Chain A
């Protein structure tokens, strides 16, 4: 009986994508959100599963922090973030009593919740489920990959910033993917260049090219560079309608290109 329920909740999901990085603060959650929006822009239905239990950022980004999670017969109903219900989200952020509550859990408790998130959320029919992860190669990552394995995830998108200190951690994440049999769809180099809004001079705040070089060295696809757009950051921060503002951002073309490469992988000739 339990096994049937287990299969049901992810049965309607077309493709599962994990967003990983060895390194913190490179923009995994931002890229997960932007990717979801880019896919929605081309008519896809997308779910986002936020398994960063200590630092859940996505509810705030999509202006749905504080929403409650409802239960139905088959499990937890994810939170819809837009009018036409094309983006749904599940995060521990919705389960906290107060937004500043710290989740001070050791591994086993985190593993249990992640397993529940994977088996008990009623996603319905989705073209893509994007799983946003915390930095590292530990409990959350091992549990997520193990629990998702029966559903044959499409693979992982690895996010880095250009500098060597980030790339150093992402190399280890590549090893994690290899060891756990998770296919690497490609590497994204985020925060790749900042264009001064006053004089349009481009400065490489966090160096340049490290992500591309890593992809070449590791023999995985390089999906593209995404520039830093503080206006977009501001929009996310202020809870403005990111969904409307995103297509006008300087980061949008890069994200649309990344989304297209992912879509190409899902077409019959693509893989």
Chain B
């Protein structure tokens, strides 16, 4: 699929091989995608990382490749941290002993600093993140992406093409204007042969704190993610209701699992994370079997 037709392609190839070596010590790679902006990708990525890192025997890494809008440092309460270089590469920022993060956010001089880059420069940054960061041995590498189907998405798939991505988790909200973009993202995944772990429907219903009646803030006029998943034969991993505390926790750089442990949103998330872990476990066994078959 990625035949070298230009010198540029040849350089990309070299990078792919270098990255393959680096990724050998990363057991599972999960991309978090959406066609649509503002559906909760970064919130999901951060909390997937927190959830997986609850098992202290696992090493979890979160790579934020939203170069223009890096939200992960703020969401995880590590805004303003710096990245250091050593002989073995760039050191990621540790949130917990077994959870580290890399984002362009750490390379900016301040909150007003904008990354006004065209595609090729963004691609270069992503390559560096994969090749030059000293991740160490990782059980789960989660990659948070910007909305769309462009440079960042093509690059991450291309650079990881020899490194076996477990799959993509696709985030949406219930309304058709989101699903429209999400279907495009699903098409993108099919085009680049990226397996889809499943879809998460976020902001799915809001319970008024006063009268306890449920409202649909983003009405699922075309059946929501459930109908879309049925039509496209993709797994619906779960639905997460809109809890205003989630936004607040993210703004404060706190995990909402610890801030609102009793919220229905927290239990939805935990179920979804479990399903992702099961998928990865199955994927790992299947891979082992096929490798053994090849020997």
- A interface list, Cβ under 8 A from B: 22-26, 54-55, 57, 60-61, 99-108, 110-111, 134-139, 141-142, 161, 163-166, 168-169, 171-176, 179-180, 194, 196-199, 201, 203-207, 228, 230, 233-234, 236-238
Contact = CB atoms under 8 A, between A and B. Distances in A.
B4 interface: no
B114 A176 contact: yes
B12 to A, nearest CB: 12
Given A136-B69, A163-B251, A207-B251, A173 B219 contact: no
B38 A23 contact: yes
Contacts of B127: none
A92 to B, nearest CB: 11
Interface string B128-153: 00000000000000000011111101
Contacts, number: 208
13 contacts: A57-B181, A99-B180, A100-B187, A101-B184, A134-B147, A164-B74, A165-B74, A169-B68, A194-B217, A196-B215, A204-B244, A230-B216, A237-B222
A106 B119 contact: yes
Interface of B: 35-39, 42, 67-69, 71, 74-75, 111-120, 122, 146-151, 153-154, 173, 175-177, 180-181, 183-185, 187-188, 191, 206, 208-211, 213, 215-219, 221-222, 242, 244, 247-248, 250-251
A168 B103 CA distance: 15
B111 A171 contact: yes
A201 B208 contact: yes
Contacts of A176: 114, 116
A8 B74 CA distance: 46
A228 B247 CA distance: 16
A173 B114 contact: yes
A95 B161 CA distance: 31
B146 A103 contact: no
A187 B122 CA distance: 27
B79 to A, nearest CB: 8
Contacts of B247: 163, 165, 205-207
Nearest to A107: B119
A103 B154 CA distance: 12
A107 B118 contact: yes
Contacts of B250: 163-165
Contact of A55 (B35, B176, B219): B35
A174 B213 CA distance: 39
A198 B215 contact: yes
Contacts of B74: 164-165, 168
Contacts of B211: 196, 198-199, 201
A237 B112 CA distance: 35
A111 B120 CA distance: 13
A128 B251 CA distance: 36
Interface pairs A-B: 7 shortest CB-CB: A25-B38, A24-B37, A107-B119, A54-B148, A175-B114, A164-B251, A136-B68
A148 to B, nearest CB: 16
